[in-house]
Amino acid sequence: MKRPSSGGGWRAILYTLRKARQSGGLLKMWRAMRTRNACKTCAVGMGGQHGGMVNEAGRFPEVCKKSLQAMAADMQGAIRPEFWSTYALAALRMWTPRQLETSGRLVQPLLYERGQANYRPIDWTEAMERLARGLRGVPADETFWYFSGRSSNEAGFLLQLVARLYGTNNVNNCSYYCHQASGVGLTSSIGSGTATVVLDDLEQADMVFLIGGNPASNHPRLMTNLMHIRRRGGEVVVINPVVETGLVNFRIPSDVRSLLFGSPIASLYVQPHIGGDLALLTGIAKRIDELGAQDHEFLRQHCAGHEQWLEYLRRQEWAEIHRRSGVEPAQINELAEKYAAARNVIFAWTMGITHHAHGVHNVQAIANLALMRGMVGRPHAGLLPIRGHSNIQGIGSVGVTPRLKEVIFQRLQEQFSIELPTTPGRDTLECIEGADRGELKVGFCLGGNLYGSNPDAAFAEQALDKLDLLVHLSTTLNTGHVHGLARQTIILPVLARDEEPQPTTQESMFNYVRLSDGGPRRLDGPRSEVEVIAELAQRLLGDSGPIDWQSMRDTGRIRQAIAQVVPGFEQLATIDQTRQEFQIGGRTFHRPQFGTADGRAVLHCPPLPDLQGAGGQLRLMTVRSEGQFNTVVYEDDDLYRGQERRDVILLHPRDVERLGLRAEQLVTVRSETGSLPRILVRPFESIKPGNALMYYPEANVLVPRHADPLSRTPAFKSVVVTLEAANPAAV
Ligand SMILES: Nc1nc2c(c(=O)[nH]1)N[C@H]1C(S)=C(S)[C@@H](COP(=O)(O)OP(=O)(O)OC[C@H]3O[C@@H](n4cnc5c(=O)[nH]c(N)nc54)[C@H](O)[C@@H]3O)O[C@H]1N2
Ligand SMILES: Nc1nc2c(c(=O)[nH]1)N[C@H]1C(S)=C(S)[C@@H](COP(=O)(O)OP(=O)(O)OC[C@H]3O[C@@H](n4cnc5c(=O)[nH]c(N)nc54)[C@H](O)[C@@H]3O)O[C@H]1N2
Ligand SMILES: [Mo]
């Protein structure tokens, strides 16, 4: 498949028209996209009260292929009742994520019981009774509660409260497989775990470091900001082992000049080895110190540990930095000189930074580099973790974490006159491991695909299989509904955000709270998440306790509760009247007064990790293609990397030759955890030699359960693999 020379452009527009046609016409799609609801895909934060396709700065139209994909998925027809008797589980297990997703919307509660061949539809009453009975039958700490990041603040807050009053802190969200390292790393450096900037800062910056992310595919609307920086004469420095087409040149569909001629994005593209960022970032800092370009005054006044840190930089040897990063000192010098010359710099990063056993250290190294030149604590400069799911940040803010923030814990107890459990809660990986050891019996999933997102897929399946009861609240079918089935598995169909009967709220990666109006239901059958959770609470915990669960069916009432207990969310109390979306207090640092105890930022001295893999081994990253959203695959081809199928491994041509392989050869890919047979070798000039690329979620069979000890995030981007030529007869 031929690779296009730029991202975005007419292809994106034609795609839009095609999707619209499939969903019942352009007008219908346009109307759906323009309702006042926060966009469903990534956390850049579009939509809300300004109307769909409008960004936080009020700019319109801001549309991307991904939001259309998500919308089209929700606009599908219902899965028909006979589907469940027609297709046995054995058959559905053979289906691809794409086939499952396009089966239609889930509209009936479904039950699978061990020994049966099929799911069968049941009514809501039976489903809720089974669920309440299953939960009542086990000690609370033998259950876990997993949340994805697409549900609302209201649903997230309510369900974590139910879980805790029921008696467990085994409450976690998909962040543990995503940006947890950013939260932990940032909190350790600046005392707050989210972005320090607002969207406007990005508009004003004159340099952006874009590290370990592919926003051309995964956060397309950020590309407009990057284009503007270049047009203003600013710098966009990309650090990525892969040269991603859309980060070199992108055609922004809503900008005529860009659409016709393309917009250069990266002004400097640096390719470290996978996992080489920490050494590279430390090298840039070392060079800044050598150039004397640090802000001495800022370091002295606002940073704890700066003397030790400078000593640590001076101790590092250039040869080691070069070896561990894979980047030549001359290029590190170029990076440092650009950084030294810039005035307002934003550091943005994604999964290439967090999906490592040293993810927190990576984030600390980014914060160090920014602090060194006083780039945190003033306007137009700062730190920006580019978040994943559209409300993943909100889910975390409102208390969906094993351990509640002390102030939330105290206020919840006081406001509601309740006593919350103090037992330690498990993170996501611990829940899977606990299930395998038989310590957990019941799982409850608010959206997402817990099976599909896990490392060591075979292990995850085996662990979930051991549960007595597993419940999913879902909109569409995914691999997690057909693999890893508990003795009793129940699927409850829920409404999407823009079909909710009442308003809900979401939080963007810029700490901006969006109000979504909801809208008319598209199909009979699914229920609102909040309604399902409140009913569960009534059945499980009764109405005689301190919380009137009936009243909690009203999302406005839940907003009142969040406003009372979550710091920075006070304005949620009046949002129903004012309809005023807002910036969460205490998170944007435009002054060098940080969230730490003494208001000073902290410089850490993380050890430089050795690179994984040597000799015949390769370092493998597992990533998203252009046509997927996490475990949901919309299209098999990955346009910008020129791949028309997903069962491939991308290697530098030099590695293909070095390993005695050839293009299109079938190999078995092996790691310490598993193997994948019949994978096609594809030479790929754009990847740094020594490294390899495969697609998630299929490659999860290969990903070990090694997690960053500080954030518990698995090293999804750093898997050591070897390739074995398949039997020539099979080729
Ligand atoms: N369309 C679409 N949008 C999405 C998603 C989606 O699946 N599809 N998912 C959403 C979610 S939940 C998330 S978390 C984000 C994910 O957004 P991204 O993080 O952009 O996605 P990935 O494909 O996991 O990783 C991407 C990049 O990391 C680079 N990389 C890999 N290893 C390293 C490394 O060691 N160092 C460096 N510097 N780079 C490395 C890869 O080359 C690749 O370009 O996107 C969100 N938005
Ligand atoms: N190897 C490898 N593994 C990874 C990653 C990687 O890069 N490599 N990335 C990791 C990352 S960053 C993440 S975030 C996780 C993703 O982990 P998850 O968030 O658990 O997975 P998703 O695939 O996003 O979940 C999709 C499902 O959510 C449901 N859904 C969609 N909309 C709604 C809604 O409005 N309400 C409800 N209740 N359900 C809804 C649909 O049924 C859909 O099938 O995977 C992680 N796993
Ligand atoms: Mo994510």
Query: 550 in helix, strand or coil?
Result: coil
Q: What is the signed CA dihedral for 15, 17, 22, 28, rounded to 10 degrees?
A: 140
- Give the pLDDT band of residue 30 (cuts 50, 70, 90): confident
Joined tokens for residue 374: 């006083």
Using CB distances shorter than 6 Å, the residues near ligand 2 are 148-151, 174, 177-178, 351, 355, 388-389, 446-450, 452-453, 473-476, 478, 494, 496-497, 529, 622-623, 630-632, 696-697, 699-700, 703, 716
Choice from 148, 521, 695 to test ligand 2 binding pocket (greatest atom count within 8 A of CB):
148
The Cα–Cα gap between 716 and 453 comes to: 10
CA distances from 342 to 216, 335, 402 (A): 24, 11, 40
Q: Which of 672, 665, 681 is nearest to 730 (CA)?
A: 665
Averaged pLDDT for residues 487-495? 98
The Cα–Cα gap between 335 and 680 comes to: 36
ω into residue 728 within 30 of 0, thus cis?
no
Rounded to 5°, the CA angle 76-81-82 comes to 115
Q: Is the minimum distance from the CB of 354 to ligand 1 under 6 angstroms?
A: no
Strand partners, 638: 643
Give the distance between the most distant pair of CA atoms in the chain: 72
Q: Is the minimum distance from the CB of 463 to ligand 1 under 6 angstroms?
A: no
Question: Distance from the CA of 264 to the center of ligand 2, in angstroms?
Answer: 31
DSSP secondary structure string for all residues of 59-127: -S----HHHHHHHHHHTS-BPPTTHHHHS-HHHHTTS-HHHHHTT-B--S-EEEETT-SS-EE--HHHH
Q: Which of 84, 166, 162 is nearest to 118 (CA)?
A: 84
Query: 272 in helix, strand or coil?
Result: coil
Averaged pLDDT for residues 288-308? 97
Averaged pLDDT for residues 666-684? 98
Q: How many CB atoms lie within 10 A of CB 293?
A: 15
Q: Which residues surround ligand 3, an ion (CB under 5 A)?
A: 178, 388
Sign of CA dihedral 551, 556, 562, 563: negative
The better pLDDT of the pair 656, 40 is held by 656
Averaged pLDDT for residues 542-547? 89
Question: Distance from the CA of 730 to the center of ligand 1, in angstroms?
Answer: 34
| pLDDT of amino acid 61 | 64
| pLDDT of amino acid 57 | 67
Instruction: Look up tokens 């999804």; give the residue.
Output: 716
Report the first-to-last Cα separation within the chain, whole angstroms: 20
The Cα–Cα gap between 469 and 135 comes to: 8
The better pLDDT of the pair 16, 382 is held by 382
Type of residue numbered 560 = Q
Joined tokens for residue 175: 């962040």
Q: What is the pLDDT of residues 402-450, one digit of tens each?
A: 999 999 999 999 999 999 999 999 999 999 999 999 999 999 999 999 9
Strand partners, 498: none
Q: Which of 237, 355, 429 is nearest to 612 (CA)?
A: 355
Q: Which domains does the chain have, with CATH numbers?
A: 7-74 (no CATH), 106-177+391-515+527-580 (3.40.50.740), 180-386 (3.40.228.10), 618-730 (2.40.40.20)
* pLDDT at residue 13 is higher than 90: no
Type of residue numbered 381 = A
Which atom belonging to ligand 1 lies closest to the Cα atom of 276? 35
**Phi/psi of residue 273, each to 5°?**
-70, 160
Sign of CA dihedral 609, 610, 611, 617: negative
Instruction: Look up tokens 């370091």; give the residue.
Output: 299
The better pLDDT of the pair 616, 300 is held by 300
Question: Distance from the CA of 233 to the center of ligand 3, in angstroms?
Answer: 32
CA distances from 719 to 405, 626, 669, 675 (A): 33, 22, 11, 12
Q: What is the pLDDT of residues 549-589, one digit of tens each?
A: 999 999 999 999 999 999 999 999 999 999 999 999 889 99
Q: What is the pLDDT of residues 90-140, one digit of tens each?
A: 999 999 999 999 999 999 999 999 999 999 999 999 999 999 999 999 999
Quote the pTM value.
0.95
